[in-house]
Amino acid sequence: MSVRIRLRRTGSKKQPSYRVVVADIRSPRDGRFIENLGHYNPRTDPATIEVNAERALYWLQQGALPSDTVKSLLVKTGVWTQFTGEAPPPEPPAPEAAQEEAPAEEQAAPEPEEMEVPEETPESEDAEQPEKSEKTEE
């Protein structure tokens, strides 16, 4: 039996929230599932993500494949890094810190020097012309 960890839509019309479930690959999106692992609410700021890490790791070790969205949620909660043993990706700096550092980098960077492009010598042009004239005379 192929098993996937995926999202199951709950909530009312135009107000989605999701449950993270383990389900057979053949069952419909909101159909039968094996186990409920947590929930995800994208409408809150920041989005609410709650996943039972112990059970998620168990299912990943049993061969359950996460959907792309669930994989990104597992990365955010740290469950995926526990499963793969990889170091988490570095977080980008805060936008405010990046703006403060940008002017300092611009001042410190020297201006690039213009590269001189060598001009073509007339000798190379003369060398090609006699070949053409010899062919035309024959």
Residue 92 falls within a domain, yes or no? no
State residue 15's pLDDT score. Answer: 92
Question: Considering only CA atoms, which of 87, 76, 40, 82 is closest in space to residue 61?
Answer: 82
* Residue 16 near residue 1 (C-beta atoms within 8 A): no
What is the domain range of residue 70? Answer: 3-84
Residue 131 falls within a domain, yes or no? no
DSSP 78: T
Q: Which comes out higher in pLDDT, residue 87 or 15?
A: 15
State residue 14's pLDDT score. Answer: 92
Note the pLDDT tens digit of each residue in 22-54.
998 888 777 788 889 999 999 998 899 999 999
Q: What is the CATH number of the domain that holds 68?
A: 3.30.1320.10
According to DSSP, the β-strands at 17-24 and 35-41 are: antiparallel
Model's pTM, two decimal places? 0.58
Counting the structural domains of the chain, the total is: 1
CA distances from residue 75 to 35, 65, 69, 70 in whole angstroms, order as listed: 20, 14, 10, 9
Residue 124 falls within a domain, yes or no? no
Residue 95 falls within a domain, yes or no? no
